[in-house]
Chain A
Amino acid sequence: MEFDPFLLARLQFAANISFHILFPTITIGLCWVLFYFRLRYTFSGDKAWEYAYFFWVKIFALSFALGVVSGITMSFQFGTNWPGFMERAGNIAGPLLGYEVLTAFFLEASFLGIMLFGKNRVSNRLHLVSCALVAVGTSFSAFWILSLNSWMQTPTGFRLEDGVFFVDSWWEAIFNPSFPYRLAHMLNASLLTAAFLIMGVSAWRARRQVDGPATWKVMRTGALMAAVLAPLQVWIGDLHGLNTLEHQPAKIAAMEGIWETEKGAPLTLFGFPDEEAKTNHMAITIPHGASLILTHDWNGEIQGLNEFGDDIPPVAPVFWSFRVMVGVGMLMVLVGWWAAWRLFRRRDENRDNQIWLLRALSVMTFSGWVAVLAGWYVTEIGRQPWIVSGLLRTSEVVADHSSATVMGTLFGYVLLYAFLLVSYIAALRYMATKPARSLTLTPQQRAMKAERIDDESAQGEA
């Protein structure tokens, strides 16, 4: 059976970037959380916060390493699989990626050394500054890469000469119309992913009764973050959606499964999009819902997929991914509020009283990953068949490799990534159960009542 090399190249890129994004998503958010732990320790002297830092910095280091190495792959793949993209759009994409390397990659990779291993080599203040620099670096990195991605979605500030892009205004190219929304949506998604990760692991530790002095504090930190940021994300997501409606209406039509342009379009909650028949089977709809959400008008007109001829994205993956993202997002709002309410009311740290919450949080540990991947599938598959919206087709820039070559390497990558993902989760589990030396700061204590651990007992156990 002969596979289409173009499809294989897309699958390979999808596999790489899906694997890669898991780890920056954690580290961008987690790094700010770590900085917060360090700050709390510096100002309060409470050992629990230091403990929290040491416990989570290990997970951060591991996640960071996975992000770095899978990110190197990305920088090469532009050339190995999509040479046409750099040849045509290199004048704009190149500098944006260049600034990412120069302002972000070196900053984070260099100060990471101090953040991880420099505790006894530098002053507390410099260590704190290093944490902040790594956090700033990860966020800078997100800034540049999301600027480029947004430019591919909503290109501005350029001119085209013989099919090659030239920049007219860097300001307009960098701050293109979808960029502010995408950046806010992704940074917030990272913080939320980190919030549910720290709550999930802490809940798991509390359930297994291996909780240390910081477990419940960390859980409360996560709960507060989730309770505030999850609803915020719904709002940002809505704004982002309206922006997409303005600039990429075909993507919205695919997300909502709207085949024909109509006024007062219904909101499809569930259904099976059928590209052949151009309809949704077994659809459960809310009349006028889509128009109300997207145009904030009961009878607003929504463009259907019929308006765009053959230039429409694959409908079913976009439609489904969108529902997964929104579904998980809503669950995050509910669980976030529930956790905040249960954990802050009377600060009840009894495992048995909180068992249902702890179970829920454990299940939700990687919910951020699911939502982020689904969200990226919506926006990336939704951009097809274009690599630069409306201007450059993905099929025009693909490299000319045989399908056997691409198939072989794709197989290799998928195998490697599956192995690493299993190893990562196994290592996380192991660290959660037996967090190395840090745990010896205090004995395992169930339902710690004392807020502060006195230094004596800490030293006695060390």
Chain B
Amino acid sequence: MDLGYWLPLFFAGAMGLALLIYVVLDGYDLGIGLLLPFADEDEKDVMVAAIGPFWDANETWIVLGVGILLIAFPQAHGLVLTSLYLPVTLMLMGLILRGVSFDFRVKAGDKHKAKWNMLFAVGSLIASVSQGWMLGAFVTGLTGDATNTLFAFLIALALPALYIMLGASWLLIKTEGALFKKAVHWGRLAVLPMGAFLLLISIATPLVSATIAEKWFTLPNAIGLMPIPIATGLAYAGLIWVFNSNRILHNGYGWLAFLSLIVMCVLASIGLAYSLFPDIVLGRLSIWEAASATESLLFTFWGTVITLPMILCYTFFIYRVFRGKATDLSYE
């Protein structure tokens, strides 16, 4: 077996998986940050309690994603991150602000709480928009001309919409009563804009990138790809249906909305992976050109196959421990 061929492939897959998990998991807690200003004071506490035990570990997935980029594809790591200098810096400042606000809001004293709530929302917004910007710039090969910038701008707006939907859906699982009703309301408001963005991006992607257009619309691949948009459409329809069916919502099946969103994210990642492969920077660098030495990859490979399943197991365990409706966050 040719390790020099398979190991970069393995790490490209692992990186994709880490970033997918990041988008879903940190997506819902960033989304809750975005929704925070629309809740009243007590509801804010419950919303934060709904993400309290999880956000730290959620955020670690982006460190793993970027970590794999750095470990396995050092050539790409430098190119990607220097090109994305500005959005990365903004995202980091956003993540810093929201991460610390989470703790400061309950520890700095009541008279400062409103300020930290505000910074929590602002930080979440900066981080989400910057991530969309980064994704948009990355998908178009980091070229930064006018069309691509416009495309990046489009994704910069779309990603927060997705995060809001994830946040609202997470609240369906973790809350009850008035806040639950609010979450339904927020979801209903955001679901159409999110769908519109999704459609716009799907149309714009092949337009901004000839490479991707070719990959999408050449026969017979185009037929093989059809299940992706169809399944995405179905999942989206399911999402709308869940949010509009009181019967589903009030019988405790609200988690179906979150599931639909996961399905959509998975499908989008598959589509994205297909569009980029075998490049790690579209049209500029393939995963094999960017990969580090095989012996280094092999050393990390063993660590990854041992620890990653363990990480997934205890992540599952943590979610089990904190299952059910969110209760007051208490250290005692």
Tell me whether B273 is interfacial, beta carbon within 8 Å.
Answer: no
* Contact indicator A426/B330 (Cβ below 8 Å): no
User: Which A103-146 residues have C-beta < 8 A from chain B?
Assistant: 103, 105-107, 109-114, 116-122
* Contact indicator A58/B107 (Cβ below 8 Å): yes
Tell me whether B56 is interfacial, beta carbon within 8 Å.
Answer: yes
Tell me whether A457 is interfacial, beta carbon within 8 Å.
Answer: no
Stretch at the interface among B152-160, B182-190, B263-271, B308-316: B308-316
Tell me whether B38 is interfacial, beta carbon within 8 Å.
Answer: no
Tell me whether B88 is interfacial, beta carbon within 8 Å.
Answer: yes
Bound complex: CA of A66 vs CA of B307, how far in Å?
Answer: 25
Closest to A64 in B: B56
Closest to A116 in B: B331
Stretch at the interface among B27-35, B90-98, B274-282: B90-98
A184 proximity list for chain B (CB < 8 A): none
User: Which A410-426 residues have C-beta < 8 A from chain B?
Assistant: 412-413, 416, 420, 423, 426
Bound complex: CA of A126 vs CA of B251, how far in Å?
Answer: 33
B70 proximity list for chain A (CB < 8 A): 75, 78-79, 86, 90, 94, 97-98
Chain A interface mostly: helix
B67 proximity list for chain A (CB < 8 A): 75, 97-98, 101
* Contact indicator A117/B330 (Cβ below 8 Å): yes
Report the minimum CB–CB distance from B104 to chain A (whole Å): 6
* Contact indicator A106/B321 (Cβ below 8 Å): no
A106 proximity list for chain B (CB < 8 A): 57, 60, 64, 307, 311, 314-315
User: Which B40-60 residues have C-beta < 8 A from chain A?
Assistant: 52-54, 56-57, 59-60
Of the candidates A72, A90, A116, A438, the one whose C-beta lies within 8 Å of that of B95 is A72
Task: Digitize A385-422: 1 where CB-to-B-CB distance is under 8 Å, 0 elsewhere.
Answer: 00000000000000111000100010011001000100
Closest to B64 in A: A101
A99 proximity list for chain B (CB < 8 A): 300, 303
Tell me whether B255 is interfacial, beta carbon within 8 Å.
Answer: no
* Contact indicator B108/A405 (Cβ below 8 Å): no
* Contact indicator A65/B103 (Cβ below 8 Å): yes
Number of interface residues of A (CB under 8 A): 70
B99 proximity list for chain A (CB < 8 A): 65-66, 68-69
Closest to B321 in A: A121
User: Which B282-327 residues have C-beta < 8 A from chain A?
Assistant: 292-293, 295-296, 299-300, 303-304, 307-308, 311, 314-315, 318, 321-322
A409 proximity list for chain B (CB < 8 A): 85-86, 89
Tell me whether A83 is interfacial, beta carbon within 8 Å.
Answer: yes
Tell me whether A166 is interfacial, beta carbon within 8 Å.
Answer: yes
A119 proximity list for chain B (CB < 8 A): 330-332
Contact status of A98 and B95, CB under 8 A, knowing A66-B100, A426-B108: no
Bound complex: CA of A87 vs CA of B315, how far in Å?
Answer: 33
Closest to A164 in B: B293
Bound complex: CA of A86 vs CA of B76, how far in Å?
Answer: 10
Bound complex: CA of A120 vs CA of B57, how far in Å?
Answer: 20
* Contact indicator B332/A437 (Cβ below 8 Å): yes
Tell me whether A350 is interfacial, beta carbon within 8 Å.
Answer: no
Please report A residues at the B interface, Cβ cutoff 8 Å: 54, 57-58, 61-62, 64-66, 68-73, 75-76, 78-80, 83-84, 86-87, 90-92, 94-95, 97-99, 101-103, 105-107, 109-114, 116-122, 166-167, 170, 399-401, 405, 409, 412-413, 416, 420, 423, 426-427, 430-431, 434, 437-438
Q: Could you name 27 residue pairs across A and B whose Cβ atoms are closer than 8 Å? A: A58-B107, A65-B102, A68-B59, A71-B63, A75-B67, A79-B70, A80-B84, A83-B79, A91-B293, A91-B295, A95-B303, A98-B300, A102-B308, A102-B311, A103-B303, A103-B307, A114-B318, A116-B53, A121-B321, A166-B295, A166-B296, A399-B82, A401-B85, A405-B85, A412-B89, A416-B96, A420-B100
